[in-house]
């Protein structure tokens, strides 16, 4: 069992988180249920912030695509982090949460004109410009609004991070950013510098997600710093900021070997520090954008076990009341998770069972071959490390309402996301009059 944050097994033999018995959570809020450990979240923010600030001028942005929610944004704000948003929706949530706009960085490879105007008017700290089309569009929007905007340029450094194909982003053949190798990046910098409405504060890159090798971060940092040198040589311009993205890996399953945030900080800060000296350029403020490593380990999902099907000599399936709708990662990436029976946490695991979701497709499996004690209908299954990219990527497939999310801390449990109702599911359905003749 891999317990993080405030998770423990209490004297009743139940899984407890934030000082709250998960059996009580299920009684009070039902299942499926996303549970976030507030202390765990805060500790994760602090560890990363402290690791980087110990080594120099830095800013940690929470990559809010991981888990975007008013209460989560409020916690992140209280911990003194900035915010990476990637859409009008995330920006709207940040505005409503009262997040300081100067600490908001707006990403995205195809921001709409409406999103750009919204960001300029909200006064976001930086817009991270992804491509030439956006550079022009943003410039035009700023001129129209007679505003100047601080920006970063997203550069594709050509670094292959060792992670799942769908979540690596720094390689040359990528939809993101200005490519470094073919001169596009330098042309982008020159175009940005030529604009009077845009102030180029720095550069950005992001090489992928769920990365364990610190060498990948060193490599990207080194390439990006070399490019700072190239820009200085070619234009005389020096940057205030270098943003090297997120991607710090976490523990889901045996074989995952997460590093200490201090290792990440050293890999980035020391690499950039040594390079700037060598190149005779100014040390920029270092920015990082962790998402998974903040929200992931702080979340668990609780389900109720239901039907059981045994295929003699092959496999035993236990179905739970959620699945790919609340956690699409196993179906999408083949991601592996660990689970316990929360109401039998001290019972000896002795049989292999596979945990199925309740959606109408065979691929809706949460865990293959989990080693668990005897699972009976009504037992509570707790899946670990579901705080990142679960709610964020959830759906209403099969018209399943999304679960509620609870924030637990020091023995209290607060609702931070309401469970969807059937009424919510049809809220945006419209029936034209001709399909509903009055008779
Ligand atoms: N910055 C940028 C520009 C990003 O694109 C991302 C993630 C992050 C920061 C945060 O990366 P993190 O620290 O969370 O690894 N849905 C996938 C992950 C996609 C990551 C997208 N970008 C998953 O469930 O594994």
Of 170, 168, 183, 178, which is closest to residue 221 (Cα–Cα)? 170
Distance CA 349, CA 47 (A): 33
Residues of the chain with CATH 2.40.37.10: 8-37+296-422
Q: What number is the average pLDDT over the span 417-427? A: 98
* CATH code of the domain made up of 8-37+296-422: 2.40.37.10
Q: Which residue stretches of 195-339 are H helix?
A: 214-235, 261-279, 292-295, 329-333
- How close is the Cα of 66 to the center of ligand 1, in Å? 7
Contact present, 80 and 59 (Cβ < 8 Å): no
Residue nearest to atom 5 of ligand 1 (CA): 206
Distance CA 34, CA 17 (A): 12
- How close is the Cα of 379 to the center of ligand 1, in Å? 33
CATH architecture of 38-291: Alpha-Beta Barrel (3.20)
Q: What number is the average pLDDT over the span 140-169? A: 85
Pocket test for ligand 1, best of 62, 130, 165, 292 (most atoms within 8 A of CB): 292
- How close is the Cα of 259 to the center of ligand 1, in Å? 17
Summarize pLDDT for 121-138 with one digit per residue, the tens. Answer: 999 999 999 999 999 999
Q: What number is the average pLDDT over the span 155-181? A: 78
Distance CA 70, CA 95 (A): 9
Summarize pLDDT for 313-329 with one digit per residue, the tens. Answer: 999 999 999 999 999 99
Of 147, 90, 97, 156, which is closest to residue 117 (Cα–Cα)? 147
pLDDT above 70 for 164:
no
- How close is the Cα of 357 to the center of ligand 1, in Å? 25
Residue nearest to atom 8 of ligand 1 (CA): 246
Distance CA 19, CA 414 (A): 13
DSSP helix, strand, coil percent of the chain (3-state; round to 5): 35, 25, 40
Q: How many CA atoms lie within 13 A of 278 on its CB side?
A: 13
Ligand 1 atom at minimum distance from 249 CA: 15
Of 391, 351, 344, 386, which is closest to residue 366 (Cα–Cα)? 386
pLDDT reported for residue 166:
58
Contact present, 204 and 155 (Cβ < 8 Å): yes
pLDDT above 90 for 418:
yes
Q: Which residues are catalytic?
A: 360
Distance CA 403, CA 157 (A): 39
Distance CA 330, CA 340 (A): 17
- 159 pLDDT band (50/70/90 cuts)? confident
Ligand 1 atom at minimum distance from 61 CA: 9
Instruction: Using only the alpha carbons of the chain, give its radius of gyration.
Output: 23
Pocket test for ligand 1, best of 66, 176, 246, 337 (most atoms within 8 A of CB): 246
Summarize pLDDT for 243-275 with one digit per residue, the tens. Answer: 999 999 999 999 999 999 999 999 999 999 999
Residue nearest to atom 9 of ligand 1 (CA): 246
- How close is the Cα of 294 to the center of ligand 1, in Å? 12
pLDDT reported for residue 161:
72
Q: What number is the average pLDDT over the span 10-24? A: 98
Ligand 1 atom at minimum distance from 107 CA: 3
Distance CA 313, CA 301 (A): 30
Residues of the chain with CATH 3.20.20.10: 38-291
Residue nearest to atom 24 of ligand 1 (CA): 389
Of 17, 31, 37, which is closest to residue 323 (Cα–Cα)? 31
As for ligand 1, residues whose beta carbon falls within 6 Å of it are 63, 65-66, 84, 107, 167, 206, 209-210, 245-248, 289-293, 329, 333, 389, 393
pLDDT reported for residue 168:
60
- 173 pLDDT band (50/70/90 cuts)? confident
Pocket test for ligand 1, best of 156, 251, 289 (most atoms within 8 A of CB): 289
Mean pLDDT over each residue of the chain, to the nearest integer? 96
Q: What number is the average pLDDT over the span 50-73? A: 98
pLDDT reported for residue 436:
83
Sign of CA dihedral 23, 24, 25, 31: positive
Summarize pLDDT for 404-416 with one digit per residue, the tens. Answer: 999 999 999 999 9
Ligand 1 atom at minimum distance from 293 CA: 13
Distance CA 345, CA 21 (A): 12
Determine what percent of the chain is predicted with pLDDT higher than 70. Answer: 98
Summarize pLDDT for 188-215 with one digit per residue, the tens. Answer: 999 999 999 999 999 999 999 999 999 9
Distance CA 383, CA 336 (A): 10
- How close is the Cα of 296 to the center of ligand 1, in Å? 11
pLDDT reported for residue 87:
98
pLDDT reported for residue 233:
97
pLDDT reported for residue 437:
80
Q: Are strands 299-311 and 33-37 parallel, antiparallel or unpaired?
A: antiparallel
Q: What number is the average pLDDT over the span 60-66? A: 98
């Amino acid at each position: 069992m891999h317990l993080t944050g405030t998770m423990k097994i209490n004297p009743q033999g139940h899984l407890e988180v934030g000082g709250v018995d998960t059996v009580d959570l299920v009684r009070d809020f039902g299942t499926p249920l996303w549970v976030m450990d507030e202390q765990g979240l805060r500790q994760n923010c602090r560890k990363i912030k402290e690791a980087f600030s110990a080594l120099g001028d830095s800013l940690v942005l929470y990559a809010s695509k991981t888990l975007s929610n008013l209460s989560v944004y409020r916690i992140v704000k209280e911990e003194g982090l900035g915010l990476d948003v990637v859409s009008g929706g995330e920006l709207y949530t940040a505005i409503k949460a009262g997040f300081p706009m100067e600490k908001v960085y707006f990403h995205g490879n195809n921001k709409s004109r409406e999103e750009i105007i919204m960001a300029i008017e909200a006064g976001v700290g930086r817009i991270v410009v992804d491509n030439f089309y956006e550079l022009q569009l943003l410039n035009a929007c700023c001129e129209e609004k007679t505003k100047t905007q601080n920006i970063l340029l997203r550069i594709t450094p050509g670094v292959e991070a060792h992670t799942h194909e769908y979540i690596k982003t720094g390689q040359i053949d990528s939809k993101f950013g200005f490519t470094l190798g073919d001169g596009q990046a330098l042309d982008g910098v020159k175009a940005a510098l030529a604009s009077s409405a845009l102030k180029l504060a720095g550069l950005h890159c992001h090489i992928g997600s769920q990365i364990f090798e610190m060498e990948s971060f060193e490599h990207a940092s080194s390439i990006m710093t070399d490019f700072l040198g190239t820009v200085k040589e070619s234009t005389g311009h020096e940057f205030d900021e270098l943003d090297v993205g997120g991607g710090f890996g976490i523990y889901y399953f045996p074989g995952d070997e997460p590093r200490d945030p201090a290792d990440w900080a050293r890999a980035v800060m020391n690499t950039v520090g040594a390079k700037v000296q060598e190149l005779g350029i100014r040390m920029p403020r270092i920015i990082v954008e962790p998402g998974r490593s903040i929200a992931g380990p702080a979340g668990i999902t609780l389900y109720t076990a239901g039907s059981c099907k045994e295929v003699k000599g092959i496999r035993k399936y236990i179905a739970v009341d959620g699945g790919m709708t609340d956690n699409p990662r196993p179906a999408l990436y083949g991601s592996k998770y660990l689970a316990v029976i929360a109401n039998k946490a001290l019972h000896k695991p002795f049989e292999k069972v596979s945990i199925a979701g309740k959606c109408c497709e065979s691929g809706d499996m949460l865990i293959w071959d989990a080693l668990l004690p005897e699972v009976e209908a009504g037992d509570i299954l707790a899946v670990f490390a579901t705080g990142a990219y679960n709610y964020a990527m959830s759906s209403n497939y099969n018209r399943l309402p999304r679960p509620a999310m609870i924030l637990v801390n020091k023995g209290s449990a607060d609702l931070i996301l309401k469970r969807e109702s059937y009424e919510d599911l049809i809220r945006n359905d419209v029936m034209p009059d001709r399909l509903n003749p009055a008779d």
